Amino acid sequence: MTDLPTTDTTEPTTDADDRDPLFARIPRRDFMKAGAATGALTALAGCTSMLESDGDNGTAAAGSADHHVPPGELDEYYAFFSGGHSGEVRVYGVPSMRSLMRIPVFNLEGARGYGYDDETREMLEDAGGYTWGDVHHPRVSQTDNEYDGRWLFVNDKANGRLARICLKYFETDAIVDLPNQQGTHGACALMPDTKYIFGVGEFRVPMPNDGRDLDDPSAYTSVLSAVDPETMNPVFDVKVSGNLDNGDSGKNGRWFFSTSYNSEEGVTEREMTQADMDWVTAFDMPAIEEALDNGDYEEINGVPVIDGTKDSPLNNADRPIVRYVDVPSNPHGVTVTPDGTYAIASGKLDNTCTIMELDLLGEVGDPNDAIVGQPQVGMGPLHTRYDERGHAYTSLFVDSQIVKWDIEAAVESEPRSEDAVIEKIDVHYNPGHLNASQSFSSDPKGDWLISLNKQSLDRFLPVGPTFPVNDQLIYIGDDEEGMELVKDTPTYPEPHDATIVHRDNINPETVYDPDDLALEPVAGGEDDITREDGRVEVRMINQRNQFGFQDITVQEGDEVEITTTNIETSENIVHSLAIPQYDINVKTAPQETRKVTFTADKPGVYWIYCAYFCSALHLEMRSRLLVEPED
């Protein structure tokens, strides 16, 4: 397909031009519709569907899509939601949409004692010491393109970090502060076997960012950072022209894709939306590894940085390390189909998706010749996910809809035709991401889809000027009946993305294996206090309903280190060791050992108490910290 338009044919509207590029760059006809869809959402909810098949679109569930999980029964899927500015990950059951657990990552969290024991406190400090993060993209590790339940990786867009969550215990065990990135947006991995984790750098900055080139944006760059999933150390960076945004991997280890909305290399919104076309960067991983092996890099902040910009000699050799595929203005999401055939990018300011064929990409001279389809899907397309029946589902931010379309039909139809569109369903409102069961793996299930809507407007009781977001569950398992909206889930702002994984692929432990922990456990009967030169080391157990020592007496100014093991062996008996006036709350689950160190700088009596309601005598589970004043 070589006759695709190379420029955007849309006419910018004049009146909207100064407000929002989403509106400025869309066709006049569609703009009128967009104005209606967003300006009068309340009135028009349920009436914006273009291919109206069912006047009841958007109303409550009926029939086939049984999402009811009765009390006492378990869900079929885990959904890992990013927690946005909370810095956490949230775990839901699907299809019930019950909230099961929260996993603190970049935040402090009392219930899990996260950030309050020595190990997690040091991990957060070593990762920059920031008190918050902005989690957007949760991705579960895979082996042979299937979820393997080892790890979940997430980004921190705010502070340029990646974190690893161990899915054996559902807890964060490593964070890396990427030295050459600001605004780590995508968090993805190289498939089929999670060889690298990628931080996808969105904000362009000088390299290194040490005060040079402050006001010379042409000298700024974005990098893709590859991190080893085992060590969580950076392996290499690839710097690019333009910037990077969302990413996804091919299935055979060769390609990794990212969208770039700032081909203009601008620093203002107006500059970043000037060009009719931006691009998708396609990273050829074996070629990049070869450049690394050959020493074709410059080391910056301890990381080998390989030059993948358009003018790089490495891109003008026989096998370019990065290919730039032109796509219409300000693309956002890009994902690879479950069979690994295509990468599909969403236009954002254009109403199309662009389909690239991965095998072609390695063969063609001009990367644009790898574009094999460009269906018109609706306004503000952001992200695309898949079922196992050849369908793509794209979120339409401006239209407040999810569009279902046929991938092969889109390849066969003319560019910008709507022929491939099967159905649209209204969502409430303005979806960002969407996700479908197992969509990132080669084994999608094609039953449930979650639309993560940025606005909830009139859907819930008002709770003040800050609204919940609305994560809506949609049944997609019946191609004849079409998509069915079955559930609204108000959520604290703001999950960006979610990964839905079948429960067979996740196997957490419910009691710790002490061999997995760094600290030597304290055994029952081995409680011990040692003192030496102003340093007090306490090793004690905790269990229903006591700590190993009734009193711990120290001198003002002592450095106190308490190591405590929960020696319970039965599931679900959690204790904590709270010393509130010393800002301490260390949680221990069965067979877990944690350590906390502090300076006893306030003389007095301080109750040590268990902050988990662990038994009938939980309130009595207390000891005293006695800090004797210096005389």
User: Under the criterion CB under 6 A, does residue 612 sit at the interface with ligand CUA?
Assistant: yes
Query: Is 332 near ligand RUQ (CB under 6 A)?
Result: yes
541 touching ligand CUA, by CB under 6 A: no
| Residue written as token pair 């955007």 | 8
Number of Cβ within a 10 Å radius of residue 406 = 18
365 torsion bin: left (phi>0), alpha (psi -120 to 50), beta (else): alpha
Choose the stretch contacting ligand CUA; rule: CB under 6 A; options: 16-24, 65-73, 346-354, 611-619. 611-619
- Site membership for ligand RUQ, residue 180 (CB under 6 A): no
Determine the Cα–Cα distance for residues 400 and 57; give it in Å rounded to an integer. 12
254 binds, among ligand CUA, Ca ion, ligand RUQ, none (CB under 5 to 8 A by kind): none
Q: Which is nearer to Ca ion, 348 or 385 (CB)?
A: 348
Kindly state whether residue 161 participates in binding ligand RUQ, applying the rule CB under 6 A: no
Give yes or no for residue 382 binding ligand RUQ (CB under 6 A). yes
C-alpha 327: how far from chain center:
24
160 binds ligand RUQ per the rule CB under 6 A: no
Binding status of residue 248 toward Ca ion by CB under 5 A: no
- One DSSP character per residue, 354-394 reads EEEEHHHHTT-SSGGGGEEE--B--SSEEEEEE-TTSEEEE
Considering the complex, state which of residue 87 and residue 115 has its C-beta at the smaller distance from ligand RUQ.
87
Q: How far is the CB of 22 from ligand RUQ (least distance, A)?
A: 12
Minimum distance between the CB of residue 496 and ligand RUQ, rounded to whole angstroms?
A: 4
139's contact among Ca ion, ligand RUQ, ligand CUA, none, with CB below 5 to 8 A by partner kind, is none
Q: 533: burial class by Cβ within 10 Å (0-12, 13-18, 19+)? A: exposed
247 C-beta neighbours (distance < 10 Å), count: 27
Strand partners, 225: 199, 237
Q: Does 151 bind ligand CUA (CB under 6 A)?
A: no
Rounded to 5 degrees, φ, ψ at 324 are: -110, 115
The residue count for binding Ca ion (CB under 5 A) is 4
The answer to whether 621 contacts ligand CUA (rule: CB under 6 A) is: yes
Check residue 379 for interaction with ligand RUQ (CB under 6 A): no
The footprint of ligand RUQ on this chain (CB under 6 A) covers a number of residues equal to 12
Which one among 192, 304, 380, 432 touches ligand RUQ, defined by CB under 6 A? 432
Spell out the residues 6+ positions from residue 631 whose beta carbon is closer than 8 angstroms to its own: none
Rounded CA separation 88/105 (Å): 5
Q: Residue 200 Cβ, how far from Ca ion at the closest point, in Å?
A: 16
Residue with tokens 């009781």: 461
Cβ 249 to ligand RUQ shortest distance, Å: 15
Q: What angle do CA 313, 317, 319 make, to 5 degrees?
A: 125
Q: Does 586 bind ligand CUA (CB under 6 A)?
A: no
Which span (123-131, 272-280, 422-430, 613-621) binds ligand CUA, by CB under 6 A? Answer: 613-621
Q: Is 463 exposed, middle or buried (0-12, 13-18, 19+ CB in 10 A)?
A: exposed
Q: State yes or no: residue 245 binds Ca ion (CB under 5 A).
A: no
| Of 139, 150, 433, 539, the one binding ligand RUQ by CB under 6 A | 433
Measured between alpha carbons, how far is 112 from 117 in angstroms, rounded to an integer? 10
Among the listed residues 377, 489, 498, the one whose alpha carbon sits nearest the alpha carbon of residue 427: 489
Choose from ligand CUA, Ca ion, ligand RUQ, none: what does 246 bind? Cβ within 5-8 Å by kind.
ligand RUQ
Q: Report if residue 137 touches ligand RUQ, rule: CB under 6 A.
A: yes
Q: Which does 278 bind (CB under 5 to 8 A by kind): Ca ion, ligand RUQ, ligand CUA, none?
A: Ca ion
Q: What is the DSSP string of 536-573?
A: EEEEEEEETTEES-SEEEEETT-EEEEEEEE---STT-
| Residue 432, binding choice from Ca ion, ligand RUQ, ligand CUA, none, Cβ under 5 to 8 Å by partner class | ligand RUQ
| Residue 330 binding result from Ca ion, ligand CUA, ligand RUQ, none, given CB thresholds of 5 to 8 Å by partner type | Ca ion
CB 586 within 8 A of CB 117: yes
In 10 A of CB 480, how many CB atoms?
5
Closest CA to 259 of 241, 236, 243: 243
Tokens of 188: 């993805």
Q: How far apart are the first and last CA of the chain?
A: 87
Residue 207 burial (C-beta neighbours within 10 Å; 0-12, 13-18, 19+): buried
Q: Does 496 bind ligand RUQ (CB under 6 A)?
A: yes
Binder to ligand CUA among 226, 610, 625, 627 (CB under 6 A)?
A: 610
Three-state secondary structure call for residue 182: strand
| 202 forms part of the interface with Ca ion (CB under 5 A) | no
What lies within 8 Å, CB to CB, of 19 at 6+ separation is none
Nearer to ligand RUQ, 156 or 488 (CB): 156
Instruction: Please state the closest distance from residue 264 (CB atom) to Ca ion, in A.
Output: 5
Closer Cβ to ligand RUQ, 186 or 548, answer by number: 186
618 makes contact with ligand CUA (CB under 6 A)? yes
As measured in angstroms, the least distance from the Cβ of 23 to ligand RUQ is 17
Say whether residue 383 binds ligand CUA (CB under 6 A): no
Q: Does 575 bind ligand CUA (CB under 6 A)?
A: yes
Contact call for residue 136 and ligand RUQ (CB under 6 A): yes
Q: From the list 614, 623, 625, 627, which residue makes contact with ligand CUA (rule: CB under 6 A)?
A: 614
- Kindly tell me which of 246 and 576 has the beta carbon lying closer to ligand RUQ: 246
Burial class (CB in 10 A: 0-12, 13-18, 19+), 222: buried
- Residue 579 contacts ligand CUA per CB under 6 A: no
Q: Which helix (H) or strand (E) holds 281?
A: strand 277-284
Query: Which residues 327-356 are close enough to bind Ca ion by CB under 5 A?
Result: 330
> Footprint of ligand RUQ on this chain (CB under 6 A)?
136-137, 185, 246, 332-333, 382-383, 432-433, 496-497
> Footprint of Ca ion on this chain (CB under 5 A)?
261, 275, 278, 330
> Footprint of ligand CUA on this chain (CB under 6 A)?
575, 610, 612-614, 618, 621
